[in-house]
Amino acid sequence: MSSEPAAREPRNLRASDADRERVAEVLREAAGDGRLTMDELDERLDAVYQAKTYAELEPITHDLPATGDAPLPATVPVAGSGADPARFGGEPTSTGAFAIMGGFTRKGDWVVPREFTAFMFMGGGEIDLRDARFAEREVTIHIIAVMGGCEIIVPEDATVRVTGIGIMGAFDHTNAGSGTPGGPVITINGVAIMGGVDVKRRPTMQDYRDRQELRGQERQLRLEDRRARLEAKMQYKRERFDARRDRHDGRYGRLD
């Protein structure tokens, strides 16, 4: 029977896209109030979108007035409580998959069961959980790869536990770690014999499109701001030139 740790340090939890957008909005408001220059805004926005944890987000706004939206979560919820009904629950699509000298894919809109088992012999598999629903908030994926490989893609907000081992092969533990409150809890175990299991964190396709659109809008705003500053600078130079010409004409007379 699995159990959640009594407490986790909130600062070390992974930040969600919504958390990053809250911090980005604070920066945009600060720039609009004149607290940040455009160059400082650009630099800090880059840091925001590269931040992975709340601890990395905190310093970005440390010298700005508080807005009431704290980047840290107030509490760390217990697994299974407060689950999002739009994301958790439903009848599992399948409970397992196998590939023998072939391949399989589970991705898109599917329902992940409480336990999913995948077996690969001289074959490959892809298990993409980014746009999936979860029958329960805590799920376990069992992987057996013999001279084969499996790629598991988990959402950015998931808490991931990897306990699998590699025998003359590799079982990736790089992306194991805490997610954000309310995210799924995914345990990945098993064995890779002369094979490999990769675990990757990726945003959902909708999150990726939204992020790209937002960055495009911000690039357009920065471009328009630079154009406005350039135009203001050119206007200033024209006015100075006209003023010098008027002084010259007043002193020596206008040349026709």
CA-CA-CA-CA torsion sign (64, 68, 71, 72): positive
pLDDT in tens, 214-235: 777 777 778 777 777 877 777 8
pLDDT the model gives residue 97: 92
Instruction: Give the C-alpha separation, 191 to 211, whole Å.
Output: 36
11 pLDDT above the threshold of 50: yes
190 pLDDT above the threshold of 90: yes
pLDDT the model gives residue 82: 53
Model confidence at 103, pLDDT cuts 50, 70, 90, reads: very high
Model confidence at 165, pLDDT cuts 50, 70, 90, reads: very high
pLDDT in tens, 60-81: 888 877 554 445 444 344 444 4
The H or E element containing residue 250 is: helix 205-252
pLDDT in tens, 40-51: 888 888 888 888
The H or E element containing residue 198 is: strand 196-202
Radius of gyration of the chain (CA): 27
The H or E element containing residue 26 is: helix 17-32
